[in-house]
Structure 1
Amino acid sequence: MPLLPGADPYHHRGGPVGVLFVHGFTGSPQSLRPWADRAVAAGHTVSLPLLPGHGTRWQDMQATRWEDWYAEADRAFRELSEQCEQVFVCALSMGSSLALHLAARHGEAVAGLVLVNPSVRSDNPASVLLPVLRHVLPSLPGVANDIALPGSTEVGYDRVPLHAAWSLGRLWRTVQAELPTVRQPVLLARSPQDHVVSPANSELVLARISSTDVTELLLERSYHVATLDHDAELIFEASLDFIRRLARTGAEEASAENHQG
């Protein structure tokens, strides 16, 4: 199937700091490309993969499961780890669940997490019907394009494939159980006006992770896809400052070790 406009995966070889960008459920790399471009401009090595089943048509997602989406994020992370001294993970919505799973699995190899409107739990009571409903109904109306900025559009599916939605619920349960094992520095940006993900998602992450270096950033002027919204620049600047601070700390520690040796 041909890719939707802007859904192409992207990779740029830059400096010793790598940044992995993970898009959301039924979305595509297009939602994060301006953010990735800013990281490239800052001199970083960047990877922005297209998750399996995404970026073409919603029917293609029906045969994929969260393990497939994670496998691609994991592949991209390992590739960056081979090329870079440090790797940070930046993610939107469901991509944040995959990022948290990466952090739980890879430990200190993940230098830090930037999570934008993380999706880690169900906000719909009807989701308990998905195990049965997915065999009867192929899809429901989509969740893409929740953006306040006029003229800004997210490239994503206009339908939610229910087999994939059922699998997303399994990812959430897996990640919820792992949250206490997440100890990496975290920058969490959230929109008070989000029509896709409730505030309870960010609250759950902040309450359960074991990280001590945690910053919360409010995106007062944006909806769910904040990376394409009014507060996009705020996200880009804050994330680059976050990476710069932690990358510099890592460099100073390495320098100190060399002097001691």
Structure 2
Amino acid sequence: MSTPGTPDGAFLVHGLGGTQYDLGSMHKRLKNAGLVTHSLTLPGHGTRPEDLVGVTAEDWIDAVVAKYREIKDQHPRLHIMGMCMGALLSAVLAQREQHDKGRLTLLAPPVYIDGWSTPWYRTLRPLLYGIGPLRRGMKIEEEDPFGIKNEQLRAIVKAKFERGENFHYRWVPLECIRQVDRLRAIVMKSAKHIRCPTLVVHAREDELTSLRSANFLVEQIGGGRARMVVLEDSYHMVCVDNDKEIVAKNVLEFFGAALPGAGSTLANEPRMSGEELRAAVAAVAALLEAGDLAALRASAIPDLAWVQPGANKLSGVHAGRAFAAFADKLESCAARFAAF
């Protein structure tokens, strides 16, 4: 049981073959913002890749559930955040425990393994899973670009792998990928039962998993509880790549944590009075009904964004300058819309 004055907490879950390095500086940033962070090393991790053989999706789920139950009463609010496979585990955790004591952030969740660098034969995995010796002995190696768009950082990561540094497994057994596929299936079935406010952060150029994953989660959890941030200059490892500052800012604001050096206004604090907000909504609705996107774009509402679901070139959250470009695309199609 938490006592008065106890700070909020955050439970961070790393990805497949990884360590807390997967989450970059998020531990430090959250601590600097006044939160207490918690983590764990998933079964089969932190030693050598061979130790992943025999570890199941249930082992990983049981580990995060046990850690969550250990810490959940230590804080007035406890947020959950996971990266890659850790995001899948965080989603399962939030659903199974009916987490409502805080918020949930899913970073680059691989609900679908369909990114631009995945090989054409990825759909043959189920056939390979049926061959026991191959399933246990085949190595799936980390390859360039290592989830990183920033060329300088990518070169550093490559050098670390070549030196054999134990910050991330250089490979994982095929059997381990089978367990991730089982975990993906669990998330697909259970995501609609997540009840806590959820932030999904995904890179448009993620080489492992496309925006289809983020769109699926937002649609399943529901627009009233889930929202999405699309990154434009990163690959899969969003916490360490070019958009890491955008990731940190959005996570801190979503968790209601003050940004060091910033003012006291948080993302969930109202910026308008009730009457001002109603008037702004009415004005936006009128412009949308009139189809006047140019006026909508010029309305000077700083947080105005267009959320476009689906898995195509227009999908994602369009805000700021991106909203202007999105509006231009829609305006260019106006004649075709009118034909209907």
TM surpasses 0.5 = yes
Deviation at 1:15, TM superposition (A): 4.3
Paired residues for 1:132-143 under 5 Å: 132-137=130-135, 138-143=137-142
Letter in 2 for 1:193: E
Residues 142 and 160 of structure 1 are in contact (CA less than 8 Å); yes or no, is this contact kept in structure 2? yes
Deviation at 1:33, TM superposition (A): 4.6
Paired residues for 1:39-58 under 5 Å: 39-58=30-49
Separation in structure 1 between the aligned mates of residue 46 and residue 198 of structure 2, nearest angstrom: 28
Secondary structure of residue in 2 paired with 1:226: coil
Could you say which residue in structure 1 is the equivalent of 2:18? 27
Structure with bigger gyration radius: 2
Deviation at 1:179, TM superposition (A): 1.1
Deviation at 1:248, TM superposition (A): 7.8
Separation in structure 2 between the aligned mates of residue 220 and residue 59 of structure 1, nearest angstrom: 36
**2:189 is the counterpart of 1:189:** no
TM-score (norm 2): 0.64
Residues 10 and 81 of structure 2 are in contact (CA less than 8 Å); yes or no, is this contact kept in structure 1? yes
Secondary structure of residue in 1 paired with 2:184: helix
Letter in 2 for 1:132: G
Separation in structure 1 between the aligned mates of residue 132 and residue 85 of structure 2, nearest angstrom: 19
Could you say which residue in structure 1 is the equivalent of 2:28? 37
CA deviation vs aligned residue, 1:101-122 (integer Å, no higher than 9, x gap):
1111111445211111101234
Paired residues for 1:182-261 under 5 Å: 182-210=194-222, 212-244=224-256
Separation in structure 1 between the aligned mates of residue 113 and residue 205 of structure 2, nearest angstrom: 17
Of 156, 168, 173, the match for 2:180: 168
Could you say which residue in structure 2 is the equivalent of 1:6? none
Distance 1:71 1:171, change over 3 A: same
Letter in 2 for 1:60: D
Distance 1:136 1:45, change over 3 A: same
Separation in structure 1 between the aligned mates of residue 23 and residue 132 of structure 2, nearest angstrom: 29
Separation in structure 2 between the aligned mates of residue 18 and residue 247 of structure 1, nearest angstrom: 17
Higher RCO (CA 8 Å, separation ≥ 6 residues): 1
Separation in structure 1 between the aligned mates of residue 109 and residue 211 of structure 2, nearest angstrom: 9
Separation in structure 1 between the aligned mates of residue 6 and residue 269 of structure 2, nearest angstrom: 13
**2:80 is the counterpart of 1:82:** no
Could you say which residue in structure 2 is the equivalent of 1:129? 127
Which stretch of structure 1 is more off in the superposition, 177-186 or 207-216? Answer: 207-216
Letter in 2 for 1:127: R
Separation in structure 1 between the aligned mates of residue 55 and residue 72 of structure 2, nearest angstrom: 26
Residues 23 and 31 of structure 1 are in contact (CA less than 8 Å); yes or no, is this contact kept in structure 2? yes
Distance 1:148 1:189, change over 3 A: same
Distance 1:247 1:207, change over 3 A: closer
Distance 1:16 1:122, change over 3 A: same
TM-score (norm 1): 0.82
Root-mean-square deviation (Å): 2.3
Separation in structure 2 between the aligned mates of residue 37 and residue 139 of structure 1, nearest angstrom: 37
Residues 143 and 196 of structure 1 are in contact (CA less than 8 Å); yes or no, is this contact kept in structure 2? no
Distance 1:53 1:88, change over 3 A: same
Which stretch of structure 1 is more off in the superposition, 62-71 or 14-23? Answer: 14-23
